[in-house]
Structure 1
C-alpha cells in the first residue's frame, strides 16, 4: 500500500500541471480617455500637466509614438477598438450617435469582450459606451458581464438631446456644483438608468471604484476591464476635493485627476500581486478638441486635432504596461492601431479568432515585446463622417481632402503628401516632388476602401413600430 502511494505521488510530480495552473491567462485593462491629445501627458512632452502615475507606466512599460485610432471622433473610434475593424466595415462610420439615434453596434459583431468571455474571463465596462443606448446594443449584448456608465457623450441629454444649457465652458466650470444639474445626462447600470442627471463631478472616481472592486472580486479568475473615461470630453468636471476654480486650469485639473485615478487602480493591481500577470493599456479615442481652448487639450507637435484626419486628430498617446516581457522604459515608433488590440490579445491568450467576420486588426504582440517591425505597414484615413480621405504607407501619408465649401465633392480636392519621418507636423506638402508616390497611394487607398465597402456589415437598427 505504501509503495502504491509513493508511486502515485511520484507520477503526480512527473505529470504536467493543468494548463490554468501552469500558465494562467493574463488579465487585461484598457483605459480609454476621451478627447485627450498627444501632448497631454508628461511622458509625451507636456510641460504644464503633471501625470506622475501614467508617466510611471511609461517608465515601467512601452510608449507607442505612432499609435493610431481609426476615426477622429468618438463612436467610430470605439467601434474600431472593440471589433478590430475599420468603422466602415461594421457600419459605425458616419459620425457619432445621439440620444435620438436609432442604431448601434450590432450584437453579432465579435468584440474583445466576446473573445475573452469565451475563454472564461470576467468582463466589465465602466465608463462612456457610445455604441448605442438601446438595450440590444449596450455592453451586456457585446460580451460584457456588467456595465456602469454614461451611454453616450456627457454633453448629451436624455431622452432627445434637447434642453442643453447655453453657457460658456468657463461659466460651467466656475459654477460646476450647480452646472452639473443643467445636463440631463443619464448614468446606467447594465440596462437601467440609475441616476438622472448623473453627478458628473464624480464619474471618473466612481468608474475607478467600480474597476477596483471588480478586480478585487475576480482575483481568482482572469478578467478584462474596459475603462473608457467620460473625461476630458466637455463639459469638464472633477470632484470638489480636487477642484481648481480657475477655468484656465480646467483641462489641466481634469487630466491630473484622471492620472490620480489611474494611480489608484495601478496600486490595487500591485497590492493584489496582479501586476506580473496583467496588461494595462492607456490611450485616447481621438485627438484634442482644440476649439474649446483651455477646456481642450494639446496635440503637441502634431497638426490639428479632433475631427480631422491630420495626425493631431488620429495619432494618440499610448502606453502598454504589463508582465516583465515588455521591456521597461522603451519607446516604439512602429505603426500600431487600436484595431490591432483584438488580434494581439488573442495571441497573448494563445487563442484564435473566429473566421466568420473579417477584421482589419493585426497581431502586434512581437512589436510589444521586442524591436520587431510592426506587421502593419499601411493605415486608411477616414473622416469623421466616414469618407475616405487618405492612406499612410510606411512613412508616407497621402491626404485628399474636399475643397472648402465642397464637403461632399472631390471634384477640386486638396491633395497633400507628407513624409512623417521627417515632418511629423505635416507642414511640407510634397505632392509636386513625388507624383509617382501620390499615384501609387491613391490607387491603393481606393482598393482598400472598395474592399471594405464591398464587405461591410450592417449595424443594428431600431425597427419601426
Structure 2
C-alpha cells in the first residue's frame, strides 16, 4: 500500500482560505521535537462544524483552528464505528489487518457490583488490542514522550492484557469501556496515574451520582458530568507539562455521542431558545438512553460544549508557552449516529454524503480533520489529500523523529505483523511534492457486512458480498451504481480486497464475487 501515485481529487468543494499567511517553516534537524495533542471526538459527522458548512451550530474555537491551520476535505476514519476506528489509530493497521474490527463487548449480568442502589457490571470493556503488536503510545513513550489519555480507551476490558497501564500510557482518566461511555452521569470512571503510584487501572466512584437511579427522571438529579470531569483532568495534565520534555495527549472526548444529556446551563438554554419548536424522544424499552426533551437543542449544545473545551485546551497551551511547538489535531472517530433521539437528517449532518455510522459509504467514514501548528502549518490551508486513520501512526512517528518505525516495531514472531500507513507530515508542512500517497484506501465492517475500497475517484462498496461501484468525481452521494458498466474496475478492486483482507473469526465479512465481463455477441445473419 506504499506506492507513490497521485490520486485524482474528488468530493466536496473546498471552502476558501480564511487567512492569508506566510509559508510554513520546516522544523530544523536539531529543533526540539513537537508536542502533540490529538483530540478525537465521538460520532461527529463531516458536516457538523461551521467550518465544514454546518448552519445551525456555533463552533468558534474549532473554526479558528481551521482558519489558523489546515482543514482536510478527504480525511477518513479507520472504521464506521468506535472501537475499530480507534484501533487503526493505535495500531497503524487498516481494518482488514488489525485485530480489533468491531465493538466486541465484555460484560455479563451474572457478574455485577452495587454502587448505592445501582447495579453495574464488575468487569467492562472491549476486545483487547493484540499485546504482541506495538501501539502508538508505546512507540512514543519508548522515545521519551510523556503520554496521557483522557476519554475513551476501548482497547481492552478491565484486567485484560491491553489496558492503558500496560500499553504505554502514563496518565489515563475516563472510560475503559465505550459501552459505559454511553452515559454522561455514570456510576464510576476509570483512572491510571503513574504519578499517583497506581499499579493498574482503578475505578473512581462518583459518590454524588450514585445517590440517584440510572434511569427515569431522577437520573437527571445526578450532578457529576463525566465530560467536564474528564476534560478538567486533561487540562491538569497539560498544566504539569513543560518545554523540556515532549508530550503527547490523546483526548478522546465522548461528545457529541448519545445520550442527549448535559448540564442545563447557558449553552443548553441558548439552544432551547433557538430551537423553540423542538422534538422529544420518549425512549425505547431496549435502549440504555433515558427519555429526553429538546433533542435538537441538546445535540447542538453538546457540539458547542465540545468546542468550548477545545478553546480551553488552546488557551492552556498558550498560557504555558507551549502553543508554538505543539501540533493539535481535531477529528472524529466515525460518521454521525441516530441513537437516543439524535436526528442527523435535521442538521444535514451527513454533509451531503450518503450513510451514517456503521456504514462504509462516505457518510459513515469521511470525517472532519483539522491540524494546527503555529509557524509550521500554513494558516487557512485546505488539503484534498485522501488518507485514513492508519496514517496517524507514521505521521506522529515521523514528526517525533522515530525513523524506520515499521522495521523497528514489526514483530517478526507474529506472522503478517506490520503497518499499513503513510506519513502525511509533508502535507502538514506544505511540501506536497514530497507527499507519498496510497494506491488505495481500505475498510471492512462485520456488523453490516460491508467492505469498501477507494482508488482514485473509484469507490467500491461490497454489501453482503454484492459489489457496487461509484465514481466520487461526479457522484459524491454514491447514488449511481456503475458496476455493470465497468466490470474491469470492479474486478481490479475485488483483487485489492483479496490482497488486503485477512480472516478474523470474531469479525467475519462476506468477500465479494467477481463480476464477469460478457463477450460481445457475434452478429449472425438470419436467412
Is TM > 0.5 for Structure 1 vs Structure 2?
yes
SS at match of 1:382: strand
Match of 1:243 among 257, 264, 268: 268
Shift of 1:126: 0.5
Q: Given the superposition, is the C-alpha separation of residues 99 and 206 from structure 1 closer, same or farther in structure 2, using an over 3 Å criterion?
A: same
Shift of 1:142: 1.1
Q: Given the superposition, is the C-alpha separation of residues 200 and 300 from structure 1 closer, same or farther in structure 2, using an over 3 Å criterion?
A: farther
Match of 1:82 among 80, 83, 90: 90
Report the equivalent of 2:478. 426
For the Cα contact (< 8 Å) 2:103–2:127, is it kept in 1? Answer: no
For the Cα contact (< 8 Å) 2:126–2:178, is it kept in 1? Answer: no
More displaced 10-residue stretch of structure 1: 36-45 or 107-116: 107-116
Name the count of aligned residue pairs.
404
Q: Map 1:206-225 to 2 at 5 A.
A: 206-219=229-242, 220-225=244-249
1: CA distance between counterparts of 2:505 and 2:321? 42
Question: Does 2:419 correspond to 1:359?
Answer: yes
For the Cα contact (< 8 Å) 1:131–1:137, is it kept in 2? Answer: yes
Report the equivalent of 2:35. 27
2: CA distance between counterparts of 1:321 and 1:59? 9
Report the equivalent of 2:115. none
Q: Given the superposition, is the C-alpha separation of residues 44 and 20 from structure 1 closer, same or farther in structure 2, using an over 3 Å criterion?
A: closer
1: CA distance between counterparts of 2:473 and 2:429? 23
Question: Does 2:170 correspond to 1:145?
Answer: yes
Q: Given the superposition, is the C-alpha separation of residues 268 and 156 from structure 1 closer, same or farther in structure 2, using an over 3 Å criterion?
A: closer
Report the equivalent of 2:386. 335
Q: Given the superposition, is the C-alpha separation of residues 102 and 115 from structure 1 closer, same or farther in structure 2, using an over 3 Å criterion?
A: closer
SS at match of 2:367: strand
Report the equivalent of 1:265. 313
Q: Given the superposition, is the C-alpha separation of residues 439 and 154 from structure 1 closer, same or farther in structure 2, using an over 3 Å criterion?
A: closer
**CA-to-partner distance for each residue in 1:144-172, whole Å, 9 max, x for gaps?**
00110011225569xxxxxxxxxxxxxxx
**CA-to-partner distance for each residue in 1:386-440, whole Å, 9 max, x for gaps?**
95622111111011212xxxxxxx3xx2x32111122221122222222221121
Report the equivalent of 2:490. 438
Shift of 1:96: 3.8
Runs of 5+ consecutive residues of structure 1 not aligned to the other structure = 1-18, 158-178, 403-409, 460-465
2: CA distance between counterparts of 1:270 and 1:419? 44
For the Cα contact (< 8 Å) 2:33–2:246, is it kept in 1? Answer: yes
Q: Given the superposition, is the C-alpha separation of residues 72 and 102 from structure 1 closer, same or farther in structure 2, using an over 3 Å criterion?
A: closer
Shift of 1:95: 3.3
SS at match of 1:398: strand
SS at match of 1:433: coil
Question: Does 2:64 correspond to 1:48?
Answer: no
For the Cα contact (< 8 Å) 1:51–1:256, is it kept in 2? Answer: yes
Report the equivalent of 1:105. 129
For the Cα contact (< 8 Å) 1:282–1:320, is it kept in 2? Answer: yes
2: CA distance between counterparts of 1:421 and 1:200? 49
**CA-to-partner distance for each residue in 1:209-238, whole Å, 9 max, x for gaps?**
222211221113111110001121211332
**CA-to-partner distance for each residue in 1:339-387, whole Å, 9 max, x for gaps?**
1011111111221212334011111211222234552231112025395
Shift of 1:35: 0.7
SS at match of 1:429: coil
Shift of 1:200: 8.0
